[in-house]
């Protein structure tokens, strides 16, 4: 049984050009039926869940764009958990919504800030003013939230080092408990890439500088750099994202909703991304169409290395040592990208920036 549950709410007010998640714009008439489908899927898969959950995570899409009564009904029906996170866009957070979330067991909110600079928000197709972020933050604080995370993006077309520094300063002025700072990844073939291809190529040359600036600024301010792109306040409370830690530690989890992924007992499955077919299947009491993959022991071990090396605590190798390329390990040590001893393996700061390429070499 798993103690980690992900719930996908795909609805958004509009689709941002750089987004490649499973989303559906508007469709208010489907919000209620979609919650019905989620709860039907939960009933079908309940045997996979432990009696007591550690984490529930509502992601999207924009979960807080979901029609409020439908969202409230979902929250009322989901299992309780120690950490319950809801992703939110700032423009959707009202006093009423913040209070409703808190009163229904949500104790962590991840705000999709992305930037405080209006010209960069415009590039990202985000129709939000920076003051809206501040207003949403204070609504959440007033409702009793003491665990708020900000998502920030760097490498945006037109962004300068000064823009990034100002974004970090504005975020730190508010003082969220957690920050996720991501390099912009624009998928080939999207309208965003077509519109900004040349500038994206120029920004690629600055990514390591931006990465170093983020790490330096946030750690100087007392945040723990606990995962490649994630930072949390230190102190008596462990403010790491417990749900995402489950992914990075290779634990089982159940995903509900259109396009949602689950990993359980050496199998991984992904619900098909078609919203209409998802609704139709569950209206008939059937599981949605899904892609199923059986994970070999070797693949599971490789994934534990790839994900575990993203964390700040050295990876204890044990049986995982067998999937490493020893020659590559020695070469990467000489290049200053990894540090290892007889028992553990860790990436250096530069190794964490180059993470995907380094782990690919280690596992070649």
Query: Is 297-362 in the same CATH topology as 4-247?
Result: no
Rounded distance, CA 247 to CA 231, Å?
16
Specify the pLDDT at position 195.
79
* pLDDT for residue 344: 95
pLDDT score of 99:
99
Strand partners, 315: 345
State residue 22's pLDDT score. Answer: 63
CA distance 87 to 61: 9
Residue 23's pLDDT is: 64
**pLDDT at residue 13, as a whole number:** 73
For the chain, the structural domain boundaries read 4-247, 297-362
pLDDT confidence of residue 104: 98
CA dihedral of 108, 110, 111, 115, whole degrees rounded to 10: 140
Model pLDDT, residue 193: 81
Does the CA dihedral 210-216-221-225 come out positive or negative?
positive
**Which homologous superfamily does the CATH classification assign to the domain defined by 4-247?**
tm_1862 like domain (3.80.30.20)
Between the alpha carbon of residue 17 and those of residues 110, 190, 221, the distances in Å are 21, 7, 32
Separation of alpha carbons 135 and 140, rounded Å: 9
CATH number of 297-362: 1.10.10.920
> Taking the chain (364 residues) in consecutive chunks of 10 residues, what is each chunk's mean pLDDT?
97 69 71 96 98 98 95 98 98 98 99 96 87 97 99 96 98 99 84 80 88 98 98 95 98 98 97 93 95 96 96 93 93 96 93 92 88
Query: CA–CA separation, 286 vs 304, rounded Å?
Result: 33
pTM, 2 dp: 0.94
pLDDT at 354: 92
Give the 3-state DSSP-derived string for the chain, with helices as H, strands as E and coil as C: CECEEEEEECEECCCCCCCCCCCEECCHHHHHHHHHHHHHHHHHHHHHECCCEEEEEEEECCHHHCCHHHHHHHHHHCCCEEEEEEEECHHHCCHHHHHHHHHCCCCEEEEEEECCCHHHHHHCCCCCCHHHHHHHHHHHHHCCCCCEEEEEEECCCCCCHHHHHHHHHHHHHHCCCEEEEEECCCCCCCHHHHHHHHHHHHHHCCHHHHHHHHHHHHHHCCEEEEECCEEEECCCCCCCCHHHHHHHCCCCEEEECCCCEEEECCEEEEECCCHHHHHHHHHCCCCCCEEEEECCHHHHHHHHHHHHCCECCCEECHHHHHHCCHHHHHHHHHCCCEEECCCEEEECHHHHHCHHHHHHHHCC
């Amino acid at each position: 049984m798993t103690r980690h549950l992900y719930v996908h709410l795909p609805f958004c007010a509009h689709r941002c050009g750089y987004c490649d998640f499973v989303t559906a714009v508007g469709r208010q008439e489907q919000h209620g039926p979609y919650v019905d489908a989620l709860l039907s899927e939960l009933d079908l898969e309940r045997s996979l869940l432990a009696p007591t959950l550690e984490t529930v995570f509502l992601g999207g899409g924009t979960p807080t764009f979901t029609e409020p009564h439908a969202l409230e009904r979902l929250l009322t029906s989901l299992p309780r958990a120690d950490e319950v996170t809801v992703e939110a866009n700032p423009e959707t957070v009202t006093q009423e919504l913040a209070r409703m979330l808190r009163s229904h067991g949500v104790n962590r909110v991840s705000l999709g800030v992305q930037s405080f600079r209006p010209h960069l928000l415009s590039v990202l197709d985000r129709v939000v003013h920076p003051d809206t972020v501040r207003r949403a933050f204070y609504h959440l604080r007033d409702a009793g939230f003491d665990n708020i995370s900000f998502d920030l993006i760097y490498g945006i077309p037109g962004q300068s080092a000064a823009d990034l520094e100002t974004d970090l300063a504005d975020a730190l002025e508010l003082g969220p408990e957690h920050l996720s700072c991501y390099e912009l990844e624009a998928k080939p073939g999207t309208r965003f890439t077509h519109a900004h291809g040349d500038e994206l190529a120029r920004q690629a040359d600055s990514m390591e500088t931006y990465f170093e600036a983020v790490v330096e600024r946030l750690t100087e301010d007392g945040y723990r750099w606990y995962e490649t792109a994630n930072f949390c306040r230190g102190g008596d409370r462990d403010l790491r994202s417990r749900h995402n830690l489950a992914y990075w530690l290779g634990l089982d989890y159940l995903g509900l909703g259109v396009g949602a992924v689950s990993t359980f007992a050496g199998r991984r499955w992904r619900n098909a991304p078609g919203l209409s077919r998802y609704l139709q299947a569950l209206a008939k009491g059937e599981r949605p169409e899904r892609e199923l993959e059986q994970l070999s022991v070797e693949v599971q071990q490789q994934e534990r290395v790839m994900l575990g090396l993203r964390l700040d605590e050295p990876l204890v190798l044990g049986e995982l040592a067998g999937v490493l390329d020893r020659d590559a390990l020695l070469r990467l040590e000489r290049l200053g990208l990894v540090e290892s001893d007889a028992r553990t393996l860790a990436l250096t700061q530069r190794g964490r920036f180059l993470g995907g390429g380094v782990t690919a070499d280690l596992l070649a």
